[in-house]
Amino acid sequence: MWQEQIMVEGPYAFDRVLQRLSIDPLNYIDHDNAVVKLPFEGTIRQAITIQGIGTTENPVFIITGETPADKEHVLEYTREIFHWNSSLTSIDEHFSATDLSSIFNIHRGTPLVREPSVYSCLLKSIIHQQLNMAFASVLTQRFVTAYGEQVDDVWFYPAPQVVAAIPAEELRELQFSQRKAEYVIGVGQKIVSGELDLTRFPSMSDEEIIEVLVKLRGVGPWTAQNVLLFGLGRMDIFPFADIGIQNALKKQFNMERKPTILEMEEWTKAWKPYLSYASLYLWRSIETGK
């Protein structure tokens, strides 16, 4: 076992990170000790522990892992997942001059935190399609706990070869629709056959990734954008069709109706090149009521 202490440039509100991560019941969160555990696949499957010991203005973290041979990869992975590689200051400064300045003041220091992998993000996004958040989380939890693996309190999504072999009837018993069951199994089959190579995504453009993903059964623009946002941490993604974002904009601009696509396209011109942060903070304004 090893430990490493990392200092990050503030502002960085780790308490808000834990709050948002706790929405997913599969995540291991210890609020009292400011701890989250993440799955990591290196020389072995292991749970890595991230503990916040600093403040929003002076963030400090202790990372704990199992195998010294994986240490550098774990640290790189953690920096990417938690957006420690770049400062939030320039993003705050950018939005301070926009009509979203009020929610950026309220949620200052909230980073865009990624899912543990592109693969888990894709499966989770497909499961969550057209469902309310509560049932989507329950359905995802049933799927992962039925077919995945738990290591030291941390759940790993089932491997593609496992997903590819699941009979659709079994997912129906978990309350998947027939189509959603087929979509999830189809992802596993495409990866196993080599038709879908998620390892190529980091080197591809947003447009190229969307083009690949929407060819999959059951994957439309909303799901593809979620993968770009939370699977890859791309910085300029704004899912116009997302109901939560539409409701947040309605609230932000005191509208009696949801905004039109044309209105949203006009507003987002001023928010580029950080549309992903506009999306995140609008979601936060709905999740927290602020």
CA dihedral 130, 133, 134, 137 (to 10 degrees): 90
C-alpha pair distances (Å), 44 with each of 66, 68, 150, 208, 273: 9, 11, 13, 32, 38
Task: Provide the 8-state DSSP code for 271.
Answer: T
One-letter amino acid of 178: Q
Inter-axis angle of helices 118-128 and 133-147, nearest 10: 130
- Cα separation of 109 and 176, whole Å? 37
152 is catalytic: no
Helix (H, G, I), strand (E, B) or coil at 7: strand
Structure letter (DSSP) for residue 26:
T
CB 123 within 8 A of CB 13: no
Local structure of 109: helix, strand or coil: coil
Q: Alpha-carbon distance 190 to 170, whole Å? A: 20
Q: Rounded to 10 degrees, what is the CA torsion of 201, 202, 207, 209?
A: 20
Q: What DSSP string runs through 187-231? A: HHHHHHHTS--GGGGGGS-HHHHHHHHTTSTT--HHHHHHIIIII
Residue 2: strand pairing partners: 65
Q: Which of 24, 92, 206, 242 is catalytic?
A: 242
**Catalytically active residues, by annotation:** 242
